[in-house]
Amino acid sequence: MPVITVDWWQGNDRAQRAELVRELTETASRVAHCPHEAVTVIVRDVEPAYWGKGGTLADELLGADDGAHGGADDGADGAGS
């Protein structure tokens, strides 16, 4: 059944990951007409130094940030697996 993989910048806490897994599971279950238990969600934290956006490494885009980034523009737009 559905396997969903999310790549996002590291720095999101456990509560955010849990909410993401819950919401994705609920939606996939509804759309695919399958039980929640059939949905697998894999969440991978990626260091900004290993993520490029627009030809630039994300840690450069973040500037003096420590690499943790949980803002609205987390670079995840369209970059999933």
Structure confidence at residue 54 (pLDDT): 95
Structure confidence at residue 6 (pLDDT): 98
pTM above 0.75, yes or no: no
Structure confidence at residue 65 (pLDDT): 54
pLDDT along the chain (81 residues), means of 10: 96 97 99 99 97 95 62 49 45
Structure confidence at residue 10 (pLDDT): 94
Provide the residue ranges of all domains of the chain, joining segments of one domain with +: 3-62
The angle at the Cα of 45, spanning 25 to 49, to the nearest 5 degrees, equals 150
Please state which CATH class domain 3-62 belongs to: alpha beta
Structure confidence at residue 73 (pLDDT): 53
